[in-house]
Structure 1
Amino acid sequence: MSQEIQIQKKEALEEMHQSPEFKAQKKYFMRITNDAYLLLKLAFMYSSRAYDFSKNALSVQSTDDLAQSIQACSYLFDEGLITPVKRELRYIIESSIKYLYADQQTKGKNLQDKITFLQSIGSSIDVREDLNLSALHEEDAKLLINELNDVYRECCAYVHVSPRQVSERLDQRERGGALGYETTDELRKLNKLIFRVYDMALALYFHGYDLSMTGDLFVGALDDMPKWSFHKGKYVSTVSAYFDYKHERNMRKYGEARPWDAKNWPPRKLNKA
């Protein structure tokens, strides 16, 4: 590729970066980042209401670990480092699964015992099959467990050297791109992946956080934030629906306390025929 052509392609990418579409993707990323981080701050604050439980809940005590990964994704995204973002997303999936699994398999144990138990889990995420996702209908839980594996495998393609990773990097170079010269389409696809991962990670986090506290968090805070991004999340919204039986939410939505069937709760929400 001649130097003149390289300059032309670089100028075209720079022009794209000034377009409304590109800026909209940047803005959307900041919104989902801030909303995910806001949730974690609220959750950690609410956890003080159940101190004895929270101090030994690995999921709760690892809130800052998830927040740190979200912050890392934000930094990498701003620098145009798309591949490292996907590596961080892989870690978010793995850690979210294993923290919840450790909590559920060592129920009643102290925090140090749970940390020690992590060593026995191994490097795969096969333990996801044994997670108890009680806020979800059995069929909805299966969808989440399967999707966790699909997204994890997608992100794994960027952890080790792979044909996919190399091909994407060479394609970027061919069109004149370099670090910080991602396209609008690349950002759009990355944002979709990030939202998907955060949505699933938060759904798992809520289960480790304890459903009682999660209900208080939704009804007492998140319900008053209609623009919070993850109300539209596939799995976060399904977890939220678990708390539709709560009197406060019924009165707010319907003006009356509607009956609910405890034997058939939670209802199926996803992929219904």
Structure 2
Amino acid sequence: MNREDIPESLRAGLDETRRIVHSYVQLLFIAGAVTQGDPKFKDNHLLRPLLQDLIESAFSLSILAREGMHSVVTRELRFIVEASLKLCFVQQRSYQTSIAQKLETFRKELESPRIPLRDVKLSMLSADTIRDFTEEAGRLYGRTSSYIHWSASQIQERMKQLENGNSIGRESPGTVQGSNDLIRRSLAASLVLIYHSVPEYVAGDTMVEKSGKTIDSYFMQSRYLAEIDAYFDYKHERQKSLSEIKESRASRIAF
């Protein structure tokens, strides 16, 4: 569907979908590029083969949302959240081993439909935030997983949508807004897990500009990523304007 064919009532919401996706992909590219500074990245890090899948899935979200296929958006988000969690889990347990060794050692975990969130270490978040993040990521995983298999709750939700006149190509602005909220929270969770699967300096080099200011990204509205950014307030380039940086960071937080 071309933009001019999109109902006026849905354009703002779908434009936001595109902004969310492009911001996520931009941060993925930067994380991958910075991590490649490690000469062993090519042979040792699972982010290398996963990066392409995450980018493909992310770009598909904009296309699916534009075509009104919000249930498929939800299913695609399940893959992104699950893959990011598995990446973090395996890399933290065996960072220096080759990809081939990781596939052999962690085959069971990689093929399992789930890995407990509490089995990953989130060192750039405070204890209270780890608890909140674990609860939110668990809810996101459960929400997105509910669309993998046909279920009674899924049927009831679809029936309600049909009764309200919401079908493919006729969705309401509220449907798009709800989808966007699920997308941004799921992609934020993915980024938190990815940043904890790579050396800490990757997040620091990504989020902190040479001036010390925080990178201009949609995802700096996430309180979890804002806290990761705050983890690097010790950097020398931030000291002269730290109060301003903190104030700006706090004012951005929206989810």
Q: TM-score, normalised by structure 1?
A: 0.80
Counterpart position of 2:247: none
Counterpart position of 1:3: none
2:105 partner letter:
F
Select which of 229, 237, 240 maps to 1:248: 237
Structure 2 CA distance, aligned partners of 1:86 and 1:222?
38
1:230/1:223 CA distance change after superposition, 3 Å = farther
User: C-alpha offsets along residues 90-144 of structure 1, whole Å, 9 cap, x if unaligned?
Assistant: 1111111111101111232111112233422152434321101111112222221
User: In the alignment, is residue 33 of structure 1 matched against residue 21 of structure 2?
Assistant: yes
1:139/1:254 CA distance change after superposition, 3 Å = closer
Deviation of residue 176 (structure 1)?
Answer: 3.4
Counterpart position of 2:251: none
Q: SS of the residue aligned with 2:208?
A: helix
Structure 1 CA distance, aligned partners of 2:139 and 2:84?
15
1:97/1:31 CA distance change after superposition, 3 Å = same
Q: SS of the residue aligned with 1:136?
A: coil
Counterpart position of 1:220: 209
Aligned pairs for 1:46-61 (under 5 A) are 46-53=34-41, 55-61=43-49
User: C-alpha offsets along residues 15-35 of structure 1, whole Å, 9 cap, x if unaligned?
Assistant: x9323xx32211111111111
Counterpart position of 1:89: 77
1:222/1:91 CA distance change after superposition, 3 Å = farther
Counterpart position of 2:157: 168
User: In the alignment, is residue 232 of structure 1 matched against residue 229 of structure 2?
Assistant: no
1:28 partner letter:
E
1:124/1:146 CA distance change after superposition, 3 Å = farther
Q: SS of the residue aligned with 2:196?
A: helix
User: In the alignment, is residue 64 of structure 1 matched against residue 49 of structure 2?
Assistant: no
User: In the alignment, is residue 152 of structure 1 matched against residue 126 of structure 2?
Assistant: no
Select which of 63, 66, 77 maps to 2:65: 77
Deviation of residue 224 (structure 1)?
Answer: 5.7
Counterpart position of 1:24: 12
2:25 partner letter:
Y
Deviation of residue 222 (structure 1)?
Answer: 11
Deviation of residue 86 (structure 1)?
Answer: 0.4
Q: SS of the residue aligned with 1:104?
A: helix
Bigger radius of gyration among the two: 1
Structure 1 CA distance, aligned partners of 2:149 and 2:115?
19
Structure 1 CA distance, aligned partners of 2:170 and 2:97?
49
**% identical equivalent positions:** 28
2:186 partner letter:
V
Gaps of 5+ in 1: 1-15, 256-273
Answer with 118-127 or 178-187: which moved more.
118-127
- Residues 77, 183 of structure 2: 8 Å contact kept: yes
Aligned pairs for 1:82-161 (under 5 A) are 82-121=70-109, 122-161=111-150
Structure 2 CA distance, aligned partners of 1:248 and 1:54?
31
Q: SS of the residue aligned with 2:205?
A: helix
Structure 1 CA distance, aligned partners of 2:208 and 2:175?
36
1:219/1:176 CA distance change after superposition, 3 Å = closer
Answer with 95-104 or 141-150: which moved more.
141-150
Q: SS of the residue aligned with 2:38?
A: helix
Gaps of 5+ in 2: 1-5, 245-255
1:117/1:127 CA distance change after superposition, 3 Å = farther
Structure 1 CA distance, aligned partners of 2:18 and 2:212?
21
- Residues 199, 234 of structure 1: 8 Å contact kept: no
| Cα-Cα RMSD | 2.5
Structure 1 CA distance, aligned partners of 2:211 and 2:237?
13
